[in-house]
Structure 1
C-alpha cells in the first residue's frame, strides 16, 4: 500500500506542465495589467470630470491591482519562482490593506455627503465591461495557480475577483444615482468590500490562498498543529482521492 506522501498523485504537475502553467499565469498577469492600466486611465479622468469619488476610487483600485499583478509577474520572471513567493504574497497583502483603507475613507466621506457626483454614462459602461472581463481573468489565473501550487498567483486572482466585486458596487451606485438620485447605496456596499479586502489581505499575508497541492520543490510552512485533518481532506479532494477520516487510503 503506497504512502500518500509519496504517491504520484501527490507530486503535482510534471516539469513540462509546470512550464506551461507558468507561461499561462504570465499571460493572465499581462492581460490583467494591460486592462487595468486602461481601466485606471478612463476611471480617473472620467471620475475627475464627473466629480465622482466612486469612479476615482475605482481607478485607484485599478492602480493597486496593477501593483499586485506586477508582483506576480516579478515572481514568475525568476528561474525559481518559489524563492520569491513570500515576498510577492506580502506585496499582494499590502495592496489589499491599502485598498481597504482607501475604500473605507471614501465610503465615509460619501456617507457624510462630501461631494456631489454628476451622472456618468462612461463610468456605467466601464463598470459593466469590467464586471464581465475581471471574473474571466480571475478564473483563468486561479485555475492555473492552483494546479501549479502557486499561492501568490491564487492571491492575485482573488484581488482580480475583488475588482469585479468593486465593479458591481460601482455599477450599482452609478445606476442608482442616475435613475433615482440615491447616494447611500454605493458607500454602504463599499464598506462591505473593504471588509472582504481586509480578509483577503490577511489570507495573502499568511499564505492561506487555497493551494492544496504544491508543486515539487515548493517551499511551504510547516503543517498546522490545529487543523491537520482539514488540510489532508482538501489535498485529497483536489486529486480526486476520497477523504480517509485520518486513515491512509488503500490505493493498491
Structure 2
C-alpha cells in the first residue's frame, strides 16, 4: 500500500514538473529571464530525481535499488546547485534585467502552493515505509518550492521595483541548501534511527515503522 502511494506521488510529481518545465522555459525565453529558464531546467532535474525513485519502487525489492537511487538524487542536487550558482553569478556580473513575465509569475505562484504539499506527502509516505530515497526525493521537491519562492520574489521585485539583482542573490542561498542536501543524500543521511523510549527527540527526519508522520 505504501509503495503504491509513493509510486502515485512520484508520478504526480513527474507530470507536474514536465508541465512546469515547458511553461517556465518558454516564458523565460520570451522574457529573456535567465532565472525563469533556470527554474524550468530545475524542473527537468527534479524529474530525473523522481524517475530514480519510481525506478526503485518498480522493483520487487525496492531496498536493493535504494543506494543507486540516492546517488542519482544526490547528483541531481549538485547539478541544480551548480547551474543556479553559475547563472546567478552571470546575472549579477552582467547586470542582466529580464522583461516582465506574467505567465512566469502565475506559474511560480502555483508552484509555491503545489510543491510543498507534494513534498509533505512524499516525506510522510517515505518515513512510514523507511525509504531514505523517498525522503531524499521529498526534500528535493521541497527545495523546488524554495526555488519557486525565490524566483517569484525576484520576478515581482524586478517588475515592481526594478530590483534585478534580488533573484540571483536569493538563488545563491538556495544553491547552498542544495549542496547540503546533496551531501546528505550521498551519505544516506536522509533518515535517522528511531527514537528509543526515554530518549529525547532531536527533531531529525526518521524513517521506518513507528516513525512520526
Task: Tell me if TM exceeds 0.5.
Answer: yes
Instruction: Give 2:91's aligned residue.
Output: 110
Say if 2:152 is the partner of 1:174: no
Residues 51, 115 of structure 1: 8 Å contact kept: no
1:242 counterpart (178, 193, 198): 198
Say if 2:38 is the partner of 1:38: no
Q: How does 1:1-252 map to 2 (within 5 A)?
A: 20-210=1-191, 212=192, 231=193, 235-236=194-195, 241-243=197-199
Aligned residues: 201
Task: Tell me how far 1:185 sits from its aligned partner.
Answer: 1.1
Two-structure CA RMSD over aligned residues (Å): 1.3
SS in 2 for 1:236: coil
Unpaired segments ≥5 residues, structure 1 = 1-19, 213-230, 245-252
Unpaired segments ≥5 residues, structure 2 = 201-213
Task: Tell me how far 1:183 sits from its aligned partner.
Answer: 1.1
Residues 43, 55 of structure 1: 8 Å contact kept: yes
Residues 110, 187 of structure 1: 8 Å contact kept: yes
Task: Tell me how far 1:236 sits from its aligned partner.
Answer: 2.0
Structure with the largest fraction of helix: 2
- Measured in 1, the distance between the counterparts of 2:120 and 2:63 equals 21
Q: TM-score, length-normalised on structure 1?
A: 0.78
Instruction: Give 1:7's aligned residue.
Output: none
Q: TM-score, length-normalised on structure 2?
A: 0.92
